[in-house]
Structure 1
């Protein structure tokens, strides 16, 4: 049986503008980092990665809370392209992978993409299929409890690699969880 090596899981983790005091309401949050990996369905290895900072336009000044949480600094976003240009780079990268399914930890990333695409009048690029790995992880364990990504790694005995709440590092860690779920039996 021939394996279709052109099929991937596109695992995305976004970071967005945020505050802990309500100055930035949910509907004004903007993506400031796209972290994405292409996880090969046949080998369960990451074949390619994409990382891009994005300059926010609604709330261009990052809050101290946001910088502390994400380790993304003002200079990172000031030198970055705005969302429309960043999406152009992202879509160019995506074109190398004709068959993929958009996956993320929970629904947040999908909703944030939809919100930012609408705000910038850009077509949402992923179609309707979305895999919620957070939900699938709970089913994998046979529990109803939802886990944060770091808790899920701990539950599986996997090390959190990189910086938590950095898009590219979290995308890699989510891929490690998804790989484990699909190649190991639950204990």
Structure 2
């Protein structure tokens, strides 16, 4: 029987409210999409996916910059539930089928944004202290100090970017493809 916490890699990518003119300070950014996949450590296949939009409350109107960057439309977030309900759905998805996982993301941004939004909404942080920064591991995998963006990392590995860049669920799938290759093939 498998009891290791890391039987699955929970690969998460978040999109958040943003702007290019300073009208939304970093500490007021809010998650507007959670995209996540469960990458099976034994098969290296994605066993399940989670995607939900979130209605922001601090800056409910998406900026043109945010919409252009993420392709997330105002009606997507207007019709969405708020953070406490979505995080509850997310936890239910995780714990109903995948109790043995480790939280992973491309860089530390996603972890910090979860911590910030949980604190703002007075919701317990849903993950343990363990977090894998795949961006850091990717540089180690290549043996370089350079930090790659996700799209550049895909290109470096010869993997085609699938879906829309800066959409949580698509980026989570692409990060899973990077991690699968890192874990199953030696760098060239």
Q: TM-score range by the shorter chain?
A: over 0.9
CA distance in 2, matches of 1:185, 1:159: 19
Is the Cα–Cα contact under 8 Å of residues 3 and 42 in structure 1 kept in the other structure?
no
Query: C-alpha separation between the residues in 1 aligned to 2:90 and 2:36?
Result: 9
Match of 2:32 in 1: 32
RMSD (Å) for aligned C-alpha atoms: 1.2
| 1:160-179 map, 5 Å | 160-179=161-180
Aligned length: 186
Contact 2:118/2:124 (CA < 8 Å) preserved in 1?
yes
Q: Is the 8 A contact 1:50 1:90 kept in 2?
A: yes
CA distance in structure 2 between the aligned counterparts of 1:54 and 1:64, rounded to whole angstroms: 17
Q: Name the SS for the 2:80 alignment partner.
A: coil
Structure 2 residues without counterparts, runs of 5 or longer:
none
SS in 1 for 2:18: coil
Question: 1:7: Cα distance to partner?
Answer: 1.2
**2: distance between equivalents of 1:150 and 1:88?**
30
Partner of 2:32: helix, strand, or coil?
strand
- Summarize deviations over 1:153-180 as a string: whole Å, max 9, x none: 0000000000000000000000000000
The two structures have a TM-score, normalised by structure 2, of 0.97
Runs of 4+ in 1 over 6 A off after TM superposition: 2-6
